[in-house]
Chains A and B, each alone.
Chain A
Amino acid sequence: MQQQEGFERRYRPDWTEFESALKRLEAGDREFGATGFPGAYRRICHHLALARDRQFAPRLVDELNALVQRGHNQLYRVAPRPLRHLGRFFARDFPRAVRSEWRVVALATALFLLPGIALVLLVGIDPGVSAQVLGENQVLQFESMYEPDNERVGRPREAEVDTLMFGFYIRNNIGVAFRSFASGIFFGVGSAFFLVYNGVFLGAAAGHINQVGYFSTFYPFVIGHGSFELTAIVLAGAAGMRMGFALIRPGRRSRKRALQEAARTGIRIVYGAAAMLLVAALLEAFWSPNGAIPNTVKYAVGSFLWLFVFGYFLFAGARDGD
């Protein structure tokens, strides 16, 4: 034990000094003469190895281990710069990621569109279906939102302020996209459920609008932001299913590794989908409901946006040889 006491006595000043350096780094101060830090860290690692090897008291080993743990955390940080590659992300990485996952995207589109179309047709055959699917209150609210003589279209009468609706769309829509992605981990079932549910909901709503004949308000409203919002919903669901399918069919990797890689790919698509939903929220809050803009303009802009979105995912970032 003399050896341990000698060891402790000799090196305690080093440890105290290292501890104070750690405290400063952990508080966020990264400027103070940190040139000595890596060397000090290596020395502490050496002390830990010695202490373990010589079977010194666990108390001592634990304290050195804690120092090494904190030092390791400070030394191997990578300064996170999420915004640095923003331009390149949108110009190249995001559309490429979507293209490389086209199979899940196609499946997600089908899961969303087919129930939607089915519901539109169903409501055409039996108008009562919309009330069954959406509930009476929801149906009535829809009708009040899209009545032809509304000043602001697509709004419940009480919520007049656009900024309020913008906040609502952000919270609601991006939240749904995140939840749709997250629930994909359950073998893709959660995402599939979200997609089908949203398709059914929107299909029933559209079908009902058709029945009551509010064409001049509903469709110009939807076409404005629909290109961004609907595509983003499909993409978020696709990303979630990609995660879930990795668990079912991990290929040549372990399930855990396959899941992590799928999550990394999926999250990139989710970033892009969230950005698209931000644009959609802006459009849906400030552009689409504006009753003063003539419908032809809305249709023209809306069509243009759809073409833009399709062209973006088909062609953006495809050029650089890679």
Chain B
Amino acid sequence: MSSQAFDSVQPVETPEGVDLALSPAGPCPRGLAWAIDASIRWFAYGAISLLLSFLGSAGTGLFLVFMFLLEWFYPVFFEVYRSGQTPGKAVLGLAVVMQDGTPVGFGASVIRNLLQFADFLPFAYLAGVVSTLTTERFQRLGDLAAGTQVVHRPSHSAMRERPRPRPGLTPRPLPIPLELHEQRAVLDFLDRRASLNPDRAEELARLAEPLAGEERAADNLCAFALWLEGQRPTTAGSPEPRGEH
């Protein structure tokens, strides 16, 4: 179906038999996460150098060792011991996993982080960005060599109540028959409407031109969606759900 052409979701089969849908993350969120991590590192350098300045030259030596460890292994520690998320990645809701969806291993994490140097060449992570944009799973060079990928992983599943439809909407019967996937789309719109701003909701609803019309397209579409759900207008004019709620 056409959705497969622009959807980057990678299904991974799990031992339980259900497919896990992984969303690889592109260069923009990864770049932001990197910037956050870099800031944290710089802050740590500053703090440690301040502490070690009391030890004179020997302190500088220790600081250099510390800087080396942080430079190369800061991401390794977090990826291996914190579910694949450095602090920067956690803020952006990203995580490092192996290609098959399993948690990232120690060796793989070391490989992908040592190869950051290669990704940085020739300047400003150009090789890494090119690699990310041209591979199927948005893998930079380090990811390719280590067999890892960076995916979106929400930090909380946000189990929320179904958003209530706007009051004052009367369910309306559909003027034209819809196929199953079209009905799904209309119902999804009802669910999503609460999270969209009004202009955007209108814009999206107008895509269903013949059905939703030009004026108040969002409301019209929602009215059809309520009907598809099985709600029927009561004689008093306000919607009453069929069955218990």
Contact = CB atoms under 8 A, between A and B. Distances in A.
A74 B63 CA distance: 35
A72 B159 CA distance: 18
Contact of B188 (A26, A57, A67, A72): A57
B61 A185 contact: no
B178 interface: no
Contact of A190 (B64, B71, B118): B118
A198 interface: no
Interface string A42-70: 10011011001001011100010111111
B240 interface: no
Nearest to B242: A2
B118 A182 contact: yes
Interface stretch (B35-43, B104-112, B202-210, B214-222): B104-112
B24 interface: no
B25 interface: no
B103 A77 contact: yes
A160 B114 CA distance: 32
A141 interface: no
A19 B159 contact: yes
Contact of A55 (B17, B64, B184, B243): B184
Contact of A171 (B65, B102, B187, B188): B65
Given A19-B157, A186-B118, A267 B57 contact: no
A117 interface: no
B65 A68 contact: no
Given A69-B20, A182-B117, A183-B117, A57 B187 contact: yes
A260 B144 CA distance: 7
Contacts of B107: 264, 267
A1 B118 contact: no
A174 B107 CA distance: 18
A175 B117 CA distance: 10
B97 interface: yes
A58 B102 CA distance: 24
Contacts of A16: 159
Interface string A240-266: 000100000000000010011001100
A166 B61 contact: yes
A228 interface: no
A41 B116 CA distance: 35
Given A45-B14, A58-B188, A259 B145 contact: yes
B6 to A, nearest CB: 16
Interface in A49-100: 49, 52, 55, 57-59, 63, 65-70, 72-74, 76-78, 80, 82
B169 to A, nearest CB: 15
Chain A residues touching B, majority SS: helix
A270 interface: yes
Nearest to B85: A26
B229 A185 contact: no
Contacts of B8: none
Given A73-B103, A76-B103, A165 B117 contact: no
Nearest to B14: A72
A160 B61 CA distance: 11
B32 to A, nearest CB: 21
A2 B102 CA distance: 36
B17 A49 contact: yes
Contact of B141 (A2, A72, A165, A185): A185
Interface string B153-192: 1101111001000000000000000001000100110011
Interface string A153-177: 0000001111111111011001100
Contacts of B187: 1, 57
A185 B118 contact: yes
Nearest to B80: A80
Contacts of A12: 159
A55 B185 CA distance: 11
B18 A183 contact: no
A175 B56 CA distance: 24
B146 interface: yes
Nearest to A43: B16
Nearest to A246: B145
Interface in A1-48: 1-2, 5, 8, 12, 15-16, 19, 23, 26, 41-42, 45-46, 48
A267 B144 contact: no
3 closest Cβ pairs, A-B complex = A167-B64, A167-B61, A161-B57
28 contacts: A1-B230, A5-B162, A15-B157, A19-B156, A23-B156, A41-B16, A45-B14, A59-B191, A59-B192, A65-B20, A68-B14, A69-B153, A73-B83, A77-B83, A80-B80, A80-B81, A168-B61, A170-B65, A171-B67, A171-B71, A175-B72, A178-B117, A179-B117, A183-B117, A260-B144, A264-B107, A267-B107, A267-B114
Interface of B: 14, 16-22, 56-58, 60-65, 67-68, 71-72, 80-81, 83-84, 95, 97, 101-103, 105-107, 110-111, 114-118, 121, 141, 144-147, 153-154, 156-159, 162, 180, 184, 187-188, 191-192, 228-230, 242-243, 245
Given A46-B16, A59-B191, A186-B118, 9 more contacts: A2-B242, A45-B18, A46-B18, A63-B159, A168-B61, A170-B68, A171-B71, A183-B117, A183-B118
